[in-house]
Amino acid sequence: MKSFLIAVPLLIASTFVQADNTCGKVTIADMNWSSASLIANVDRFILEHGYGCDAELVPGDTMPTGTAMIEKGEPDIAPEMWSNAMKDALDKGVAEKRLRFAGKSLSDGGEEGFWVPQYMVDKDPSLATIEGIIKNAALFTHPEDPERSGFYGCPAGWNCQISSGNLYKALNLEEAGFDLIDPGSGAGLSGSIAKAYERKEAWFGYYWAPTAVLGKYKMVKVDFGSGIDKDEFTSCTSAENCLEPKVTMYPPSLVQTLTTEKFAAASPAVFDYLSKRSFKNSQMNELLAWMEDNQATGDIAMEYYLVNNKDDWMQWVPAEVAAKVEAALDNL
């Protein structure tokens, strides 16, 4: 098996002209959030210049793209699929040989949790644990009620509102003096982090990675000391009618590259690249922060990434492809 995997790139290398032909027109879903857009652009560039595909980005979002891939077989590639969001449908698609998962686009998976700023943990390492936070609840003053402490939950209507609310209950944060603050929107939540960070104020709340916010503002994920109880999480923590939630850390969400079976079968070389192409959360956080700082779009971030991280991406492709991509980069 292993030898076969090694053999594939050689095979492709030897039949390069043929591979070129088999690639042809490829559509890649450009999801409407920054990390997905960056990955989509990286894929586009490498497919176009490394594999000679006629790659095209099409706008996408988790549900519509997933559904379209199952039903219509296009687009060919969804580079960052949060598969938990439509797990059943995707599993069915794989079983019916319509879809194929290539690999994890984010090797750590989507990370959720309760976070505190790094500078607070630097001062008092105990704040990296939930016991430390509860003990020091007074630090986290509620913005509208000096008597209480504030815990920034997930915005109203989001899926995470349920899980963060259940964990708030399970961790007995209310008795510890914390009020659950609804930030109203993603912008409200990230705005509250930015504001606290700029002034080195205390902040405690729900957030997720990879995000520009966590790239820009170093935060520490609070350890509940419970480990991950995946069953408890799916059956109760993330369910609205969970009556007695128990403490569990958030299990990472699987973030994968998804292709149609048709494409995977037709372009094994490209599929191999997609299987290897993967980012670490810390790396993605930083890239996203760079994007936000520079107000960069996916294609600009792609350029920045490819130019500055050659060691990274060159491991994903055979040497010939790498050389072609590099040459194309030089011509930019």
Partner 1 sequence: MAESSWLKEFPEMDRVDLLAIRKGLDSAYREFSREYGEVIESFFDPLLTFLVWFEKLLLTTPWWIVIITLTALVYLASRSWKLSLSVVLSFLAIGYFGMWEHTMETLSIITVCTLLAIALGIPIGIVMARSDRARSVITPLLDIMQTMPAFVYLIPVVMLLGIGKIPGVIAVIIYAIPPVIRLTNLGIRLVDSEVMEAATAYGASSTQRLFGVQIPLAMPTIMAGINQTIMMALSMVVIASMIGVKGLGQPVLKSITNQYFTLGLFNGLAIVALAIIFDRVSQAYAKRTQRHM
Residues forming contacts to partner 1 in the complex (CB under 8 A) are 143-145, 155-158, 181-185, 187-189, 191-192, 194-196, 198-199, 293-295
The least distance separating partner 1 from the CB of residue 61, rounded to whole angstroms, comes to 13
- Contact between 76 and 58 (Cβ < 8 Å): no
The tokens describing 162, both together, are 């349920």
User: Which lies closer to partner 1 via its Cβ, residue 96 or residue 293?
Assistant: 293
The least distance separating partner 1 from the CB of residue 278, rounded to whole angstroms, comes to 29
The least distance separating partner 1 from the CB of residue 102, rounded to whole angstroms, comes to 30
The least distance separating partner 1 from the CB of residue 295, rounded to whole angstroms, comes to 6
In sequence order, what are the beta bridge partners of 55? 26
User: Which lies closer to partner 1 via its Cβ, residue 196 or residue 249?
Assistant: 196
User: Which lies closer to partner 1 via its Cβ, residue 138 or residue 156?
Assistant: 156
Which residues contact residue 271 at a Cβ distance below 8 angstroms, ignoring those fewer than 6 apart?
100, 102, 259, 263, 264
What's phi and psi for 85, nearest 5 deg?
Answer: -65, -30
Q: Cα 72–273–54 angle (5° rounding)?
A: 55
User: Which lies closer to partner 1 via its Cβ, residue 16 or residue 33?
Assistant: 33
Strand 54-60 versus strand 25-31 pairing type: parallel
User: Which lies closer to partner 1 via its Cβ, residue 50 or residue 183?
Assistant: 183
Strand 219-221 versus strand 111-117 pairing type: antiparallel
Q: Which helix (DSSP H) or strand (DSSP E) does residue 2 occupy?
A: helix 2-14
277: phi > 0 → left, psi -120 to 50 → alpha, else beta; which? beta
Maximum alpha-carbon separation in the chain: 72
The least distance separating partner 1 from the CB of residue 240, rounded to whole angstroms, comes to 11
Tokens 């403490």 belong to which residue? Answer: 247
- Amino acid type, 230: K
Whole-number Å distance between alpha carbons of 165 and 144:
20
- Contact between 256 and 86 (Cβ < 8 Å): no
User: Which lies closer to partner 1 via its Cβ, residue 14 or residue 294?
Assistant: 294
> What is the per-residue burial (b if ≥16 Cβ within 10 Å, else e) of 3-12?
eeeeeebebb
Tokens 């963060």 belong to which residue? Answer: 164
The least distance separating partner 1 from the CB of residue 269, rounded to whole angstroms, comes to 34
Give the Cβ contact number of residue 292 at 10 Å.
17
The least distance separating partner 1 from the CB of residue 157, rounded to whole angstroms, comes to 3
User: Which lies closer to partner 1 via its Cβ, residue 166 or residue 192?
Assistant: 192
Nearest CA to 282 out of 222, 223, 214 is that of 214
The least distance separating partner 1 from the CB of residue 211, rounded to whole angstroms, comes to 16
User: Which lies closer to partner 1 via its Cβ, residue 184 or residue 225?
Assistant: 184
User: Which lies closer to partner 1 via its Cβ, residue 194 or residue 266?
Assistant: 194
The least distance separating partner 1 from the CB of residue 160, rounded to whole angstroms, comes to 11
